[in-house]
Structure 1
Amino acid sequence: MIRFFDFVFSLTGLVFGFPLLLMLAAIGYYDTGSPLFRQQRVGRHQKPFTLVKFRTMKPDTPSVATHLASTDAITPFGHFLRRTKLDELPQLWNVLKGDMSLVGPRPGLFNQKELSLERSKHKVFDVLPGITGLAQVNGIDMSDPALLAETDARMIRDFRIKNYFYYIFLTLSGHGAGDRVKVGQPNKGS
C-alpha cells in the first residue's frame, strides 16, 4: 500500500512540479554550474543507490555528512534551497524508482560507520530509506547516530498508514530543522 502512495505522489509531484524543478535547475546552473548533486547512499539492506538532490554547496566540496559540512561551502542559493527544503525535490525521482519512500529513515553515507552500526543493531536497514520521518520532523539529525537509529527504529516499530500521512504533513508544514551545518567550520562537506 505504501509503495502505491509513494508511486502516485512522486509521479504527481514530478509531473506537476516540473516547471518549478526546471526553474530551480536553471537558477542552480547559474549558481554553481552544476545544479544536481548525486551521491552514493546506504539503501535498504545496506545496498548502495544514487541519491539525487539540488546542489547547495560548491561543486568542489568534499563529500561528508551534512553535520560535518561548513556553511562556507553553501552558496547563497543553496541556503535558500535548504531553508525551504526545495533541495529535496529531485529525490522524488528516487521514490518513483523505488530506491526510497517518502517516509523512512534518512539514508546515510557509507563512510558513516557509527550510524550504520547503530542502524544495523536496530534493524533500520530492513526498510526503504525516506525523504522524511520521525527523526526529521523532530529535528534529530545524523550528528547523534545512537539517538537517530533509536528514533528510526521507533518509527518503524510504530508505523501505521496514518503516520505516513502525518509525517508528510508535518514536513510540508515546516516541522524539523533538517541536518545542521556548522558555522565557519573549515570546508569539509558537500
Structure 2
Amino acid sequence: MEQTNLNTRYQTKDQTYLKWKKRIDAVLCIVALIVLSPLLFAIALIIKCSNWKAPIFFKQKRVGKNGISFDMYKFRTMHEDAEAQLEKYLEKNEIEGAMFKLKNDPRVTKFGRLLRKTSLDEFPQLWNVVKGDMALVGPRPPLQREVAEYTTHDKQRLVITPGCTGLWQVSGRNELSFKEMVELDLRYIQRVSFGLDFKIMCKTVLVMLLPKGAY
C-alpha cells in the first residue's frame, strides 16, 4: 500500500514537470554529447590502447522505472573478466544491504580508478537518457540481483525513471549505507521539481571537480 501511495503522489505531481523533464533531458544530453565528443573520444582511445582486445564500453542490465530492465552503458573501468570474478569478492562487500561496493577492488584498472574518481566513466549514460531509459536526475539504477533482495519499502525507488545523478550521489555516495541511499531517493521522489533537479545537477558538477566518496 505504501508503494502504491508514493507512486500515486509522484504521478499527481505538476504535470508540466512530468511532461517536459524527459524532453529537456534528451536535448541537454544531445548537446552535451556533441560538446564533450573530443573528451569522450580521448577516453575511448586510452581505454582501447590499454587493451586492444577488450571493449571500450561496459554494458550491464539495470532495472528502471516500474521494474523494467534496460542496458546501461559506461566506459569500461575493469579488467575484461571482472564479471566472472565477482562471486569471489561478494563476501568482501563494504556496504550493508542490497548493493555491492569494494573500495580497493582489484578488478578495476589504473585508468579505471581515475575515471571512477572523477565520474567520467558515467558519461556514456547520457545516451541512455537520449534513449529514454534514464533521466539526468533520479535514483541510481539497481542491478537485477540487488532488486531481488529489495523489501517492499526499497522497491519504491522504482516508481520513477532512474538517473545519472541524484541526491545519493551528491550527499556522500559510497560513504552512505544502502538504507540511507533508499531514504534519499524516496525523499527526492516526494519532492521532484525542476528546481530540485537543477540544484542536484549543480552539486554534481562540484562533486566531479572535488570528488569524495567515489571509487
SS at match of 1:79: helix
Q: Report deviation, 1:73.
A: 1.2
The alignment of Structure 1 onto Structure 2 pairs a total of residues equal to 178
- Bigger Rg over Cα: 2
Task: Give the aligned partner of residue 73 of structure 2.
Answer: 52
TM (normalized to structure 1)?
0.85
Identity %: 35
Q: 2:154 aligns with which of 96, 99, 119?
A: 119
Task: Give the aligned partner of residue 34 of structure 2.
Answer: 15
Does the 8 Å CA contact 1:142/1:148 hold for their aligned counterparts?
Answer: no
Does the 8 Å CA contact 1:105/1:132 hold for their aligned counterparts?
Answer: yes
Task: Give the aligned partner of residue 96 of structure 1.
Answer: 130
Task: Give the aligned partner of residue 4 of structure 1.
Answer: 23
Against the structure 1 CA distance between its residues 140 and 77, is the aligned structure 2 distance closer, same or farther, given a 3 Å change threshold? closer
Structure 1 regions of 5+ residues with no counterpart? 181-190
Against the structure 1 CA distance between its residues 111 and 5, is the aligned structure 2 distance closer, same or farther, given a 3 Å change threshold? same
Q: Report deviation, 1:69.
A: 7.1
- Bigger mean CA deviation after superposition, 145-154 or 89-98: 145-154
| Distance in 1 between residues matched to 2:100 and 2:50, nearest whole Å | 20
Does the 8 Å CA contact 2:74/2:124 hold for their aligned counterparts?
Answer: yes
Against the structure 1 CA distance between its residues 126 and 47, is the aligned structure 2 distance closer, same or farther, given a 3 Å change threshold? same
- Bigger mean CA deviation after superposition, 145-154 or 61-70: 61-70
| Distance in 2 between residues matched to 1:46 and 1:73, nearest whole Å | 29
Structure 2 regions of 5+ residues with no counterpart? 1-19, 91-98
**1 or 2, which has the higher helix percentage?**
2
1:1-190 to structure 2, matched below 5 A, reads 1-32=20-51, 33-62=54-83, 66-68=100-102, 70-112=104-146, 113-115=148-150, 117-120=152-155, 123-141=156-174, 144-174=177-207, 177=212, 180=215
Provide the aligned C-alpha RMSD in A: 2.2
